[in-house]
Chains A and B, each alone.
Chain A
Amino acid sequence: DSGVTQTPKHLITATGQRVTLRCSPRSGDLSVYWYQQSLDQGLQFLIQYYNGEERAKGNILERFSAQQFPDLHSELNLSSLELGDSALYFCASSVAGGMETQYFGPGTRLLVL
């Protein structure tokens, strides 16, 4: 157990819908990262937050957005869902958002029908 929690574990929804994935970082970690794992693209970095502020953006679609709240938990919002958004979404956290180790949560498996 890495100490990073994610809810829900599984999510099934329809095309065009909007969902919210939630992540709580390890106690004391200020930085949260979101990754998408799909069969064709592999593991891809989406976005990073540090202490409530967006720090870096990766291959995140405009339909996707995220935020980090004052209690440091983070939410990833996915809207206008398409079939191709079906994937495993991982959250990771690290102490300060630098070159230290990132610890991963169990992931949320999203299935868009």
Chain B
Amino acid sequence: AQSVSQHNHHVILSEAASLELGCNYSYGGTVNLFWYVQYPGQHLQLLLKYFSGDPLVKGIKGFEAEFIKSKFSFNLRKPSVQWSDTAEYFCAVNPYSGAGSYQLTFGKGTKLSVIP
């Protein structure tokens, strides 16, 4: 079965520091890749997604992610974090699971705490 690994459970950064959150997936076929963010007490919001084409994708709020097919990775980056980026970040994979179904498989999430 496919799985998604997020390497860091909790990351603590100071404002203006650079961020990189790791995500690896295990699935040999075609996948779509997503990063979702969940701010405290809120629902999941889409940060960015990769379907095809340029492996470097840009999302909202200055986030970007790079798809490296050979490494089965889709790491999230931001050059300079802000206190308002404090949230939990989820990597998700959407592989084909048969009968026309594409269910999202999520990683366990990475909590990001940004210290002012």
Question: Which residues of A pack against B, CB within 8 Å?
Answer: 2, 33, 35, 42-45, 48, 50, 55-56, 58, 90, 92, 97-99, 101-107
Contacts and interface: CB of A to CB of B under 8 A. Distances in A.
Given A42-B108, A58-B103, A99-B94, 19 more contacts: A2-B45, A35-B104, A42-B109, A43-B90, A43-B106, A44-B106, A45-B103, A45-B105, A48-B101, A55-B100, A92-B44, A92-B104, A97-B102, A98-B100, A99-B51, A101-B34, A103-B46, A104-B36, A105-B43
A81 B44 CA distance: 25
B102 A104 contact: no
Interface string B74-106: 000000000000000010001011111111111
B43 A107 contact: yes
A31 to B, nearest CB: 9
A45 B97 CA distance: 12
9 contacts: A33-B104, A42-B109, A43-B106, A43-B109, A90-B43, A104-B43, A104-B44, A105-B43, A106-B43
A38 to B, nearest CB: 11
Nearest to B51: A99
B34 A56 contact: no
* Overall SS of chain B's interface: loop
Contacts of A42: 106-109
A101 B102 contact: no
Nearest to B106: A43
A103 B106 CA distance: 14
Contacts of B103: 33, 45, 48, 56, 58
B3 to A, nearest CB: 11
B14 interface: no
A97 B100 contact: yes
B70 interface: no
A42 to B, nearest CB: 5
Contacts of B46: 101, 103
B104 A45 contact: yes
B43 A2 contact: yes
Contacts of A101: 34, 46, 49
